[in-house]
Amino acid sequence: MDTSDLGNSIMTVRYKLVFVGDVGVGKTSIMNRFITDQFSEEYDSTIGVDFATKTIEYKENSLKLQMWDSAGLERYRALIPSYVRGASIIFIIYDISSKESFNNLNTWINFIKQVNTDNSMIVLCGNKTDLERKVTTKEGQILANKEKMLFFEVSAKNGENVTKMMYSCIAELPFFEQFKEGDKDESPVNTDEMTQDSNKTPVSSVEPESKPLITPREISRY
Ligand SMILES: Nc1nc2c(ncn2[C@@H]2O[C@H](COP(=O)(O)OP(=O)(O)O)[C@@H](O)[C@H]2O)c(=O)[nH]1
Ligand SMILES: [Mg+2]
């Protein structure tokens, strides 16, 4: 976490979020679905944005999510520890229609264990729930329980559960702690700002659609 007082916000808090998992499980697609609410069948799995920033305004404070896509890093696994270092949330993604991607999770978990993740939230995520399943929900849940990870199943393609997963994890970030006892009726404002490193390939050139506002009450329900 990094705090500073940029712009008009009282406080700006930044968090690094990273996505790991086999090539083709849908890491870029999940990020793209969350940031732009779009889906494309046509990603080159090795090309993606290096990172995108999404800002959520809440009570005159800014929560900036720096979301790092692994963009081909899957092939250079020795670099994974430095990629996940300092991340507030580490999403480990597999494809529920691919037993192989599930069987490879131990490799990803072991890479992450090489880094001190005491301050990281680790989230196991089965993607592609729109496809025929080869990995049961129970198998995913058992692994998540064993490794003390949060667990979600989503579809980047039809959007199922993506927003819910992201906001339930974001709601657990220390940013919200200071507000927990405060006024519960004020909603965070998703400014839909999407900034990307201009030298990199954008996830999508399409303007992001408005997202529903979430209230603290909704956050705590997730
Ligand atoms: N059916 C289906 N296909 C998906 C889903 N998410 C991603 N894909 C497809 O899976 C392929 C790999 O996705 P991508 O996001 O590039 O995976 P990455 O290599 O992990 O970044 C692409 O053809 C996507 O269109 C999903 O939820 N359902
Ligand atoms: Mg990718």
Question: CA angle at residue 202 from 5 to 107, to 5 degrees?
Answer: 90
pTM: 0.81
Answer yes or no: is 173 within a domain. yes
Q: Does 207 score more than 50 pLDDT? A: no
Nearest CA to ligand 1 atom 11: 24
Residues with CB under 6 A from ligand 1: 23-29, 41, 43, 45, 48, 127-128, 130-131, 155-157
d(CA 85, CA 108): 14
With b for 16 or more beta-carbon neighbours within 10 A and e for fewer, the 171-202 pattern comes to bbbebbeebeeeeeeebbebebebebeeeeee
Answer yes or no: is 214 within a domain. no
The helix (run of H) or strand (run of E) holding residue 19 is strand 11-20
CA distances to 60, 182, 216 from 177, rounded to whole Å, are 15, 10, 11
How many structural domains does the chain have? 1
What domain range includes position 163? 2-207
pLDDT digits (tens, 9 = 90+) for 27-74: 989 998 998 888 888 756 555 556 788 898 887 888 899 998 876 676
126 Cα–ligand 1 center, Å:
12
Answer yes or no: is 40 within a domain. yes
Answer yes or no: is 221 within a domain. no
Q: How do strand 11-20 and strand 89-95 relate by DSSP bridges?
A: parallel
What CATH number does the domain containing 102 carry? 3.40.50.300
Answer yes or no: is 7 within a domain. yes
Amino acid at 46: T
d(CA 94, CA 126): 5
Q: CA-CA-CA-CA torsion for 56, 156, 124, 216, nearest 10 degrees?
A: 30
Find where tokens 């008009």 sit: 8
Answer yes or no: is 171 within a domain. yes
pLDDT digits (tens, 9 = 90+) for 123-165: 999 999 999 999 999 999 999 999 999 999 999 999 999 999 9
Answer yes or no: is 218 within a domain. no
d(CA 18, CA 1): 13
